[in-house]
Structure 1
Amino acid sequence: MLLTKIVLRNLFNPFKVRFKISPRYLSTNYESSSDTVDLAYASYESTADPEETNLPPLVILHGLLGSKNNWNSMSKAIHRTTGRKVISVDARNHGDSRHSSQHTYVHMAHDVMKLLKKLELSKVALLGHSMGGRTAMVLSLLCSDLVSSLIIVDISPVKTSPQIFTMANLFDAMSSVMIRPGIAMSKARKLADEQLKSITPDVNLRNFLITNLVQTNTGAYTWRVNLPALKENFQSHISCFPSNLRGLQYCGPTMFIGGTLSDYIGKNDLKEIQEYFPLAELVFVEGAGHWVHSQKPEKFLEIVCQFLSEK
């Protein structure tokens, strides 16, 4: 029977795993472990055969303005199909994880390393979408011994979609949403949707953004994402891949999955991608945009599970 355990930041084991990290990276980009934050996560696991439980867990990292909850159904499906434990993580400044003024791929990779140390996991498969994909790339480049295989969803280390810069408008639009305290969540969501229509006609995008709307103990409504920090760090850090990682490689099994309707990753990007990830494969899902996993879930599940079974 599937056991879904939501485990927040207080439930950690002592550090027992050591990681090999580039000295150049540490000296120029990361000051100390005090810069990390504890991450909330959901774990999907079941009683299984010993051979299945010995498979490296799959760690899923969501995209910008997302959360572990967006991956609930897919996490369960991957677990059922592969027998692997699946751990879906909230990034800093998202979901139930702690907020911080710092939001770079450097920090996010170290946050995940800290979590895996505390969970005493010495080897994991990584799956990351968009912002989470770049976090997974950075972690694998810095700490390749930790990563058994890598799956990146609709994001590239060598290209940035012009569409990504429209996110700044979403930060402003979300910040300007006004909802009076004490009303029902259903009505609050409807009011938020009406106010966000002026910035995007895409109802699916608006629904995605509204998953971040929460009610406090006082009855007031707020966003659970740290909009000021995301806006402050977006242009310099979130929208682009760290340029100082050139020369580093992750030489394990790697798959990039793109949507044919998305321009976040191009069909001609593979050669440059392989400068970082020599064994990278690139596949596209027909009819999918940037949110491949939610727009074409069955095909996405098939691709991911086949890759995990082979690698």
Structure 2
Amino acid sequence: MIGYPSLRMLTRRAFTTSTAKHTVPLAYKLHEFPKVGSADGPPILFMHGLFGSKQNNRSISKALARDLNRLVYAIDLRNHGESPHDIRHDYTAMAEDVEGFIMEKSLEQPALIGHSMGAKVAMTVALRNPQTVSALIPVDNSPIDATLKSDFGKYVQAMRVIEDAKISRQSDADAILQKYEEALPIRQFLLTNLTRSPDTKAVKFRIPIKTLADSLDHLGDFPFRDPDEARYEGPTLFVRGTKSHYVADEALPLIGRFFPRFELLDIESGHWVISEKPEEFRKGVVDFLQRQLSS
């Protein structure tokens, strides 16, 4: 068993369980550290945002595995990427999936990184099972109930139009999407979900559009309300884009109650912090996690 400085070991019995739990097995990509020998710290679980997948975090996962000499698991949350579809899509269900993944892989106190929707999943896991998480890095989201940006509803509408058009070329899908989103990087991000039907040759989306559309009203919610009843006292780094509204100054006192050891890293970007400023994000995460091992 590998020892990590100042970290207690994960035990399977430590997990909070739900009597109604129905988890799905999560697809993942393992990015291994390049050095020969043991890892320099616990593994990292990297969780994407809404409409994303493990592919979105491929480059940064490779960089973190290299720079930190740790295993990095980039995972597909339920209803995304190559993971199974399920009619239930909320933060408790997604957190239970991640907890199941940690148990299945026998991961010892992983560090959790999540962007947007993935940030709330990571926070939920840490609050449900604080003793099993060595460090927490939520990226541009807060532990509060908030309304999602209207952009996500527009994206669902665009996806439905694209599928109804039964087109066969990605360029045609992009032409439709331009009516809903001007920014090319965001369109390219959304179009990574396109696949081609083997029967009709028409492009379609691999994510369950109806399930995610029905879940939009609840994806701004957070399953915990009272910091006196659930708290994660491990090292926490909140990363926020200064041009985004998801981590407002007004939320910081509540963040401090849920996560009393939190630090704040501001990066001059919008909501898509990792893709907009990957080097600043990488440096901030590497510095933070290296400090945890040496403290």
Give the corresponding residue for 1:175. 160
Q: Which of 128, 146, 151 does residue 166 from structure 1 map onto? A: 151
**If the length of structure 2 is used for normalisation, what is the TM-score?**
0.89
Give 1:266 deviation, angstroms: 1.6
In the alignment, structure 1 residue 94 sits paired with structure 2 residue 80:
yes
Report the alpha carbon displacement of residue 165 of structure 1 after superposing the two structures with TM: 3.3
Consecutive unaligned residues of structure 1, counting only runs of 5 or more, are 1-15
How many pairs were matched up? Answer: 279
Separation in structure 2 between the aligned mates of residue 59 and residue 292 of structure 1, nearest angstrom: 18
Residues 243-301 of structure 1: CA distance to partner in whole angstroms, max 9, x if unpaired? 44542000000000011111111234221101110111112012x11111110111110
- Report the more deviating stretch, 190-199 or 101-110: 190-199
Match of 1:270 in 2: 252
Percent pairwise identity: 36
Give the match for residue 306 of structure 1.
287
Instruction: Say whether the 8 Å CA contact 1:63–1:132 is kept in structure 2.
Output: yes
1:57-206 counterparts in 2 under 5 A? 57-158=43-144, 160=146, 164-178=149-163, 180=166, 183=168, 188-206=169-187
Deviation of the 1:225 alpha carbon: 1.1
Gaps of 5+ in 2: 1-10
1:20 Cα offset (Å): 3.2
CA contact (8 A) 1:59 1:88 kept: yes
CA contact (8 A) 2:148 2:216 kept: no
State the 1:169 CA deviation: 2.0
User: What does the per-residue CA deviation read over 1:4-38, in whole Å, with 9 as the maximum and x for residues that have no partner?
Assistant: xxxxxxxxxxxx823332xxxx6xxx5433x1111
- Match status 1:291 vs 2:276: no
The equivalent of 2:12 in structure 1 is: 17
TM-superposition CA deviations, 1:91-139 (whole Å, max 9, x none): 0000000000000100000000111111011310000000000000000
Q: Which amino acid aligns with 1:151?
A: I
Residue 248 of structure 1 pairs with residue 230 of structure 2: yes
Distance 2:68 2:159 in 1: 38
- RMSD value, Cα: 1.8
Q: Which amino acid aligns with 1:229?
A: T
Query: CA shift at 1:49, angstroms?
Result: 5.0
Asked if 2 retains the 8 angstrom alpha-carbon contact of 1:249 and 1:277, the reply is yes
Q: Report SS of the residue matched to 1:242.
A: coil
Aligned 8 A contact 1:17 1:122 in 2 = no
Whole-angstrom distance in 2 between the partners of 1:47 and 1:285: 28
What residue in structure 2 maps to residue 45 of structure 1? 32
8 Å CA contact 2:115–2:140 kept in 1: the answer is yes
Partner of 2:20: 32
Q: Are the equivalent residues in 2 in contact too, given 1:159–1:265 (CA < 8 A)?
A: no
2-structure distance, mates of 1:99, 1:59: 20
Q: Give the match for residue 191 of structure 2.
A: 210
